[in-house]
Chain A
Amino acid sequence: MNIQVLAFGIAKDILGQQLLPLEVSENTSVLLLKELLVRDYPEFAKLAGFSIAVNNEYRQDDYLLSEADEIAIIPPVSGG
């Protein structure tokens, strides 16, 4: 199935783009997606704290993705 990955902050630098279309298998969980991102973009491994929102809802690791979901990667930002 196809999903859209939207990156913010430092995640945008890691992906090299703001919007990444991705094909994943059915029943991919948030945790699996994080692992796929780390596999393709090893820098994500260091970003222990990155969070995932699915269709504008913050989701935990066990949440299952669906076709056409819009995923947002929200890395921590510290500037003030």
Chain B
Amino acid sequence: MAGIKLEAEEFARYARHISIPEFGVEGQQKLKAAKVLVVGTGGLGSPLLLYLTAAGVGTIGIVDFDVVDRSNLQRQVLYDERDIGKKKVRAAHERLKALNPLVHIIVHETMLTSENALEIIRDYDLVADGTDNFPTRYLVNDACVLLDKPNVYASIFRFEGQVSVFNYRNDEGILGPNYRDLFPEPPPPGLVPNCAEGGVLGVLPGIIGSLQASEVIKVITGVGDPLSGRLFLFDAASFTTRTLNLQRSKDNPLNGENPTQTELIDYQQFCGINNEQESQEVKEINVQELEEWKARGEDFQLIDVRESFEYEIANLDGELIPLGTILQEADRISRDKKVVIHCKAGGRSAKAVEQLQEHFQLENLYNLKGGILAYAKEVDSALATY
């Protein structure tokens, strides 16, 4: 590690690293020389950024476009009450600077897209993927394969987490599998709930994101055996762990035997999102219109497609039919009057309308725009929000 020198302050700060025999001064110098991009500053991004900053990774890039919301604080330990409403990358930058001023933080206040991903990732040695949606996961994976960068991957769902090191080239130059070898095709939109819809145990991203940080440090320093060619699964509920062996697939469209993809694609489209034609067919009413309907005595049915625990927190007196059962329970939907369908924020109810229209050709359905949250904000401030 010629050229990278540690100052006296750094010897003091990183003394516990340097004392580990296989880590030593050289491991710390490698961390100082490294440039790591953390995509997403949420549940996984929080422990990742805190530990990578504390560990003394020389340059850390952070990508996010979101703002801190009160519902983030249950697990996103990078932020506190004072950060609500602030841009995540800005709040994160302040916190990380206070934690370790020796680390150079680069802020990318943007959504990672097919247009900017190669340009942003190109300058880094390694990417840690802590995003919260399938299009960005495929985008990060493909960009890393095209640029020949390792992608330290983790994702979470309720009590479960997955970790792996993708696209890792070992000392002999042999390349490991990537996300496309494990999951060649994305699931259809809406089937696999994200954390906002499906929920997540607050401490879970703390556990999984810390494992991810550990893999980042191992890949940079060369200490230990990175989790390449293996997928780690953890279920906090039953405390089961499992490590599966992965192989590269000859059918991988990026680097299999007959690669068909040589550049980034439209990942929204690839994941089946953005089907504007379909969503245009959903008729909508807003909460004021709903109030007008009520005031003039319009005869309509109100359906709530959230889960029963959400109904308990707050409801609009609608009939509860959770989205997952809507097609089986479709005979409860009125055919001879207007039907207003609502959920928390309008997403699930739009899916319910689409599904009912597709399977039963109903034309009397209206999605309540903004859901019960909009109702609480604009009509009834006494309603509990969550």
Q: Which of B43, B188, B238, B247 contacts A80 (CB 8 A)?
A: B43
A79 touches B186 (CB 8 A): no
Q: Is the CB of A75 within 8 A of B187?
A: yes
Asked if B184 lies at the interface with its beta carbon under 8 angstroms from chain A, I say yes
Q: Are B244 and A53 in contact (CB under 8 A)?
A: yes
Residue on A with the closest CB to B200? Answer: A79
Question: For the complex, what is the distance from the CA of A18 to the CA of B238, rounded to whole Å?
Answer: 10
Nearest chain B residue, comparing its CB with the CB of A51: B182
The answer to whether A56 and B243 touch across the interface, beta carbons within 8 angstroms, is: yes
Interface presence of B269 (CB below 8 A)? no
Task: State whether A8 touches B233 (Cβ < 8 A).
Answer: yes
A60 — which chain B residues lie within 8 A by C-beta?
249
Q: Which of B115-134 contact A (CB under 8 A)?
A: 129-134
**If A9-B157, A72-B242 touch, does A78 touch B134 (CB 8 Å cutoff)?**
yes
Instruction: Please tell me if the beta carbons of B244 and A57 are within 8 angstroms of each other in the complex.
Output: yes
Interface stretch, picked from A20-28, A29-37, A41-49, is A41-49
Nearest-Cβ distance from residue B281 to partner chain A, whole angstroms: 21
Closest B residue, CB atoms, query A60: B249
B69: Cβ under 8 A from any A Cβ: no
Specify which of A18, A72, A76, A79 is in contact with B244 (CB 8 Å cutoff): A72
Whether A48 and B185, one on each chain, are in contact in the complex, defined by CB atoms closer than 8 angstroms, is yes
Of residues 145 through 188 on chain B, the ones whose CB sits less than 8 Å from some CB of chain A are: 154-157, 160-162, 182-188
- A76 with B132, Cβ < 8 A, contacts A9-B192, A53-B244 known: no
Contact B246 A77 (CB under 8 A): no
Inter-chain contact B244/A74, CB cutoff 8 Å: yes
B positions within 8 Å CB-CB of A: 40, 42-45, 129-134, 137, 154-157, 160-162, 182-188, 191-195, 198, 200, 205, 231, 233, 235, 238, 242-247, 249
CB-defined A-B contacts under 8 Å, sample of 25: A8-B233, A10-B157, A18-B238, A48-B187, A57-B245, A72-B233, A74-B233, A75-B187, A75-B192, A76-B187, A77-B157, A77-B192, A78-B131, A78-B194, A79-B132, A79-B156, A79-B194, A79-B195, A79-B200, A80-B42, A80-B45, A80-B130, A80-B154, A80-B195, A80-B205
